[in-house]
Amino acid sequence: MSTRKFRVGIIGGGGIAQAVHIPGWKNLPEVEIVGVADVSEATAKKAAAAAGASQVFSDYRDLLKLDLDAVDICTPNKVHTPAVLAALEAGKHVMCEKPLAVTTAEVRQMGESADAKKLKLMTGQHQRFTTPGVAAKAWIDAGNLGEAYHARVRAMRRAGLPPAPGFIDAKLSGGGPCMDIGVHALDLCMWLMNFPKPVRVSGSAKTVFAKGHGMPNLWGEWDRERYSVEDFATGYVHFDNGATMVLESAWMSHQEEQEELLAQLYGTKGGLKWPDAKFVTVVNGTHAQGSLTHPVNVQHPHWAEIAAFYDCVVNHKPSPVPWTETIKVIGILEAIYISSTEGREVVPTV
């Protein structure tokens, strides 16, 4: 019997890799993290030490020359596409942090390449693996919501602008809060709605506070000259099944909550809020409400998504977050930006 472990390489050894991805892989006894690549040698060495990896690279293309089963990509957004495509070309299965890409054309290019090579490609949307997410999905799949006809999606912070260049420089991030936190709530909501096709989107993206000096930031100072993304965005979406959705996302706003990540679904049989998992319905002609519980208590959703990706590879299962779903999420966000720039309603290219 072979004792060879499942071999993983990490591309991008920064905060998200060190905080959750590396611990998630190390939690799987069948896995060995072989190497880490990062443009910063110091970051790569620190991540490799945390991972117990023996090899460090400043160029991810050198990492891809190793005998690897899979690659986990945790770079700034704009590096996702070239890194994913290179990994697929090298014959590696790929898990990539959200957003998979910042345009639908890039998502499609990645997805078609993975399909052609019969490789797994998964976007890291860990909110699907949270206890409230699992409970909400089970409740809806049991028919309790009925047909979803409208949804509200909010990813709003009071003063939580991430100051790192990988977030605020459009050349690295491809977008602001829409791409950073809006993608979480939007993906979760679309998943709960069973991914209807978006057919019309209007939106607005603007910088309200981040270029000025009046709004304090809980996460420290940032380079206002380099800042080139929105700090607020909103969109209105029409789907092919007649449903609609409103989306709001911000890193800075005058609101009481420090952060509000919300998906609220309105259905013909009931309504549901995530993540508090509160539902409303009608029972025997009487209004009723309550909160969902679920026997699964997911303490580490990032670890759970990594375990799901590992399982899909070794047991030849479909990707837990397939690119055909991700492209609809990115299609909505991309359309919001285009609509804001061109002042018109946009048909997403999904």
Q: Could you tell me the residue ranges of all domains in the chain?
A: 6-126, 128-300+329-342
Task: Tell me: pLDDT of 208 over 70.
Answer: yes
Q: What's the confidence (pLDDT) of residue 261? A: 97
pLDDT band at 1 (very low <50, low <70, confident <90, very high): very low
Architecture of domain 6-126: 3-Layer(aba) Sandwich (3.40)
> What stretches of 38-178 adopt beta strand conformation (E)?
55-57, 70-73, 93-97, 121-124, 148-157
Q: Which residues contact 52 (CB under 8 A, 6 or more apart)?
A: 26, 33
Q: What's the confidence (pLDDT) of residue 293? A: 82
Q: What's the confidence (pLDDT) of residue 295? A: 65
Return the CATH number of the domain spanning residue range 128-300+329-342.
3.30.360.10
Region of poorest pLDDT, from 30-34, 181-185, 263-267, 293-297: 293-297
Q: What's the confidence (pLDDT) of residue 212? A: 87
Expressed in percent and rounded to 5, the helix, strand and coil fractions of the chain are 35, 25, 40
Residue 151 phi/psi, 5-degree rounding, is: -145, 150
- Please, are residues 333 and 178 in contact by the beta-carbon 8 Å criterion? yes
Sequence length of the chain is: 350
Task: Tell me: pLDDT of 194 over 90.
Answer: yes
Supply the mean pLDDT for the chain.
96
Region of poorest pLDDT, from 26-40, 54-68, 295-309: 295-309
Tell me whether the CATH fold assigned to 6-126 matches the one assigned to 128-300+329-342: no
The two three-digit tokens of residue 199, written as one number: 């057919």
What mean pLDDT do residues 33-62 have?
A: 97
Long-range contacts of 313-320 (CB under 8 A, 24+ apart): 313/6, 313/69, 313/70, 313/93, 313/120, 314/6, 314/30, 319/120, 319/121, 319/122, 320/122, 320/128
The two three-digit tokens of residue 292, written as one number: 């969902």
Please report, rounded to a whole number, the percentage of residues in the chain having pLDDT higher than 90. 96
| Nearest alpha carbon to residue 107 among 81, 70, 71, 88 | 81
What mean pLDDT do residues 284-312 have?
A: 91
The two three-digit tokens of residue 293, written as one number: 């519980």
Please report, rounded to a whole number, the percentage of residues in the chain having pLDDT higher than 70. 99
Q: Which helix (H) or strand (E) holds 118?
A: none
Residue 283 phi/psi, 5-degree rounding, is: -125, 115
Task: Tell me: pLDDT of 134 over 60.
Answer: yes
Region of poorest pLDDT, from 41-45, 253-257, 263-267, 292-296: 292-296
